[in-house]
Amino acid sequence: MERTITVTVNGKTHTASVEPRLLLVHFLREVLNLTGTHIGCDTTSCGACTVLLDGVPIKSCTFFAVQADGRRITTVEGLARDGELHPIQQGFKEEHGLQCGFCTPGMMLVAKALLDENPNPTEEEIRWAISGNLCRCTGYQNIVKSIQWAARRMREAPAAGR
Amino acid sequence: MYPARFAYDVPGSVQEAVDLLGRYREEAKVLAGGQSLIPLMKFRLAKPARLVDINRIPGLNVLEEESGVLRIGALVRHRDVERSAFLRDRYPLLASAAPQIADPLVRNLGTVVGSVCHADPQGDWGSVMLALDAEVVAQSTRGERRIPVSRFFAGPLTTVLEPDELVTELRVPQPLARPFGTYLKLERKVGDYATVGVAVHLELEDGVVRRAGIGLTSVGPTNLKAQDAEAVLIGKALDDDVILEAARRAASAADPTSDVRGSAQYKREVVRVFVTRALRQARAARAA
């Protein structure tokens, strides 16, 4: 039996009727057409499907859409504002933090949650924060540099990192 | 991957939740963090006809000391334990284990109680709770039942819980003396199951062990309590003879099987090394 849920995604409120078994990642991709959230392993291992739930990163392949009723979701589409890339997105561009790009939305969202809480993380803290997200291209080095780049930019211009 | 269809309830109180479990029994599964249950459902290894989602029940996120115990409510996430400064000082074993559970994203949702109820012999919290002599509080329409964790695990992925029971919290006895605790985990990478895990909890007074708890992960059909090893520590100072004897006994309590992560002999040896290492750390911490 379907249930009606109301979820705020990237600041916009959506109401939809969904089957309880619908996973949040499918709700985002197939109901809302927000395909920036990727499906990687589909087994809670890789973090490609990472989104923020009330600001906290989770794996949206392991969370039912009905559980998100009344809550706030941020996906990669919610990072840029008014056509301006978020400093984290700029950082990934400047420091070449991606090759194939499949893990990138998840990486950027865990970076967002980290920097919101800790504006000046150590390299160790960054590596710890991204340890639930797998990248098979970069060896992580440039991902760390990208997040460091974003941290510097956000400290210099805090408004850019809302 | 899509789980099989299920009916979904969101009770607003423990009473409503246990009423549902009482009515639907084996048909229903409790959804807390979902980080073990949902993957099982996606693989269709579990096909519950109904989920009782307890995430909206107020009060189940309790994490505080009260009348001689630390209460860990059914909605306390691994993340909450990891971030608690209070636990680092009072329950160092909990603080040590928390950041080693799965990965940061799973820790943001998964719960301590859910992990214990999942009863995976490769799960970390069961060993921690065995070392701490914790107790499970289970509620049903028939009332409340308290089960020592040492009698909670019946086999791999199996507990002594009845289908109509909801675990509302774990209760950990408060330390009586200054506690030492550490969880040593050998894993191939972040997020992997333990090849071997060893949980050690000690309370020392004037250099003598008053309480000792040792739990073992991934070396038996359930998490194991190394009781013979604990017994040899009580009333003793942590000199090398005592440490090595406890480590030897813990290794012989282990009952590992060979698999892709290592041979049985190797895993038993890791238990011996980890228990030795933990007890030496306890001694060094006391000297410092």
Residue A128 CA to residue B77 CA, distance in Å, equals 18
Task: Name the token pair of B230.
Answer: 């604990």
* Distance (Å) from the alpha carbon of A28 to chain B's nearest alpha carbon: 15
What would the two tokens of residue A129 be?
A: 């924060």
Full pLDDT tens readout for chain B, 288 residues: 899 999 999 999 999 999 999 999 999 999 999 999 999 999 999 999 999 999 999 999 999 999 999 999 999 999 999 999 999 999 999 999 999 999 999 999 999 999 999 999 999 999 999 999 999 999 999 999 999 999 999 999 999 999 999 999 999 999 999 999 999 999 998 888 999 999 999 999 999 999 999 999 999 999 999 999 999 999 999 999 999 999 999 999 999 999 999 999 999 999 999 999 999 999 999 776
Per domain, the residue ranges of chain B are 7-53, 63-173, 178-287
Predicted confidence band of residue A84 (pLDDT cuts 50, 70, 90): very high
Q: Does B228 touch chain A (CB under 8 A)?
A: no
Give all strands (DSSP E) within chain B, no chain letters. 7-9, 28-31, 50-53, 63-66, 69-73, 135-140, 143-148, 153-155, 158-159, 166-173, 178-186, 196-205, 208-217, 224-225
- Rounded-to-integer distance, Cα B252 and Cα B255, Å: 8
Over residues A100-131, the pLDDT tens digits come to: 999 999 999 999 999 999 999 999 999 999 99
Alpha carbons B276 and B184: distance in angstroms, whole number? 11
Q: What CATH topology corresponds to B7-53?
A: 3.30.43
Domain A3-76 belongs to what topology? Ubiquitin-like (UB roll) (3.10.20)
| First and final C-alpha spacing in chain A | 39
Gap from B192 CA to chain A (nearest CA, Å): 9
Q: Contacts of residue A64 in chain B, CB cutoff 8 Å?
A: 8, 34, 38
Q: Is A80 exposed, middle or buried (0-12, 13-18, 19+ CB in 10 A)?
A: middle
pLDDT given at position B189: 87
Domain boundaries, chain A: 3-76, 87-156
Q: Does the fold of domain B178-287 match that of domain B7-53? A: no
Which residue, among B163, B162, B137, has the nearest Cα to B149 in the 3D structure? B137
Its CATH architecture, for the domain B178-287, is 2-Layer Sandwich (3.30)
A63 and A7 Cβ atoms separated by less than 8 Å: no
Q: What is the pLDDT of residue A67?
A: 98
Query: If you average pLDDT over residues A3-15, what whole number do you get?
Result: 98
User: Cα dist. B117→B54, B104, B254 in Å?
Assistant: 14, 21, 21
Smallest Cβ–Cβ distance between A21 and the set B3, B102, B190 belongs to B3
CATH 3.40.640.10 describes domain B63-173: no
Separation of alpha carbons B99 and B106, rounded Å: 11
pLDDT for the residue A157: 85
Residue with tokens 């589909």: A42
Residue A162 pLDDT class (50, 70, 90 cuts)? low
Cα dist. B98→A38, A55, B115, B282 in Å?
28, 21, 12, 19
- Fold of the domain spanning A87-156: DNA polymerase; domain 1 (1.10.150)
Evaluate whether B245 touches B253 at the Cβ level (below 8 Å): no
Nearest neighbour of B105 by CB, restricted to A1, A23, A132: A132
